[in-house]
Amino acid sequence: MSSPAEAWDRLVPPAPAEVPALSARGVHKHYVGGDGGRIRVLDGVDLDVNRGESVSIIGQSGTGKSTLLHVLGALDRPEAGQVRVGGQEVGKLSEDALAYLRNRSVGFVFQFHHLLREFTALENVMMPQQIAGTSPRAARDRARELLESVGLGSRLDHTPARLSGGEQQRVAVARALANRPLVLLADEPSGNLDPETSERLHDLLFGVSEEQGAAMVLVTHDLGLAARAGRVLRLHGGHLVLARPDAAGPEPAE
Ligand SMILES: Nc1ncnc2c1ncn2[C@@H]1O[C@H](COP(=O)(O)OP(=O)(O)OP(=O)(O)O)[C@@H](O)[C@H]1O
Ligand SMILES: [Mg+2]
């Protein structure tokens, strides 16, 4: 039997260095409303994010930011358009390959974190690593290190019910970083946190993006935080538009 790493490489070959870590072209997504009408949320979104680059997305409530992150993270399929993670077109992958891709290449910090309730903080952060084939000992060491870096070294054995909302969110951030993802997607990662803890968490996310060469897309209503990213984009009318003309990086295609 091949190792999980070999199986992964067979299903989804390693990302070539020259392609964007994350790429979206002409992404369309709509929902069906209560009256049966169409709610057009994403209406041709284009985006390229390179390794080590960070992009923030701002926009009014209900414009589709979370929807976009779900599509970029291969958690949801668009009706039209393509999403590529590490050069792989996610719409063409089998369910198995897609599961590998999400586990190995995408770190997702949800707007409303989804921790496993029956497991401790440590186990929640170990889980994605074990799915990826990391040994229990190595997974435990990394989980401990990550939880310490988000200030939860003394809460390793707490289940989510015995953690505050902000602590749960920090566990979710540690979990998203566990497999050193190529693409890091964070949806209001510090929604519940006090300013000091938020600051530490943001430093961690930007540090990881730069040092590990992850492509980060950060959704936030906090304009100060948004401005820390290399590019600030606004989701408006189903499109991404450059929100800060002086921001580094190429202008997004309309
Ligand atoms: N499963 C669904 N079925 C129908 N409509 C949905 C569904 N999920 C989201 N919507 C609608 O799609 C639109 C975009 O929702 P989304 O959660 O992406 O917005 P958002 O920009 O993340 O908002 P917020 O800033 O409040 O988090 C909203 O109008 C919402 O009501
Ligand atoms: Mg949202």
Using the mean position of ligand 1's atoms as its centre, give its distance from the Cα of residue 120 in Å.
Answer: 30
Nearest 5°: the CA angle 31, 33, 34 is 150
How far, in Å, CA of 2 to CA of 162, rounded?
39
Q: Enumerate the domain spans of the chain.
A: 50-75+93-242
50 DSSP β-pair partners = none
Q: What is the pLDDT of residue 191?
A: 80
Q: Which atom of ligand 1 is nearest to the CA of 60?
A: 25
Tell me which residue has its CA closest to atom 31 in ligand 1.
Answer: 62
Q: What is the pLDDT of residue 229?
A: 96
CATH number listed for the domain at residues 50-75+93-242 = 3.40.50.300
Q: What is the pLDDT of residue 126?
A: 98
Q: What is the CA radius of gyration of the chain?
A: 18
Claim: this prediction has a pTM higher than 0.75:
yes
27 DSSP β-pair partners = 45
Give me the amino acid identity at 61: S
The residue length of the chain stands at: 254
Angle between helix 121-131 and 165-177 (nearest 10) = 20
- Candidates 28, 30, 38, 39: which one to mutate for ligand 1, based on the most atoms within 8 Å of Cβ? 39
Tell me which residue has its CA closest to atom 25 in ligand 1.
Answer: 61
Residue ranges lining ligand 1, Cβ < 6 Å: 31, 39, 41, 59, 61-67, 111
DSSP string computed for 198-218 = HHHHHHHHHHHHHHTT-EEEE
Q: What is the pLDDT of residue 10?
A: 67
Using the mean position of ligand 1's atoms as its centre, give its distance from the Cα of residue 138 in Å.
Answer: 38
Pairing of strands 22-32, 80-85: antiparallel
- Count of Cβ atoms closer than 10 Å to residue 208 Cβ: 21
pLDDT in tens, the chain (254 residues): 556 566 666 666 666 777 899 999 999 999 988 888 888 999 999 999 999 999 999 999 999 999 999 999 999 999 999 999 999 999 999 999 999 999 999 999 987 778 999 999 999 999 999 999 999 999 999 999 999 999 999 999 999 999 998 899 899 999 999 999 999 999 998 887 888 888 988 998 999 899 889 999 999 999 999 999 999 999 999 999 998 654 444 444 44
Ligand nearest to the CA of residue 67, numbered in listed order:
1
Q: What is the pLDDT of residue 13?
A: 67
Tell me which residue has its CA closest to atom 16 in ligand 1.
Answer: 64
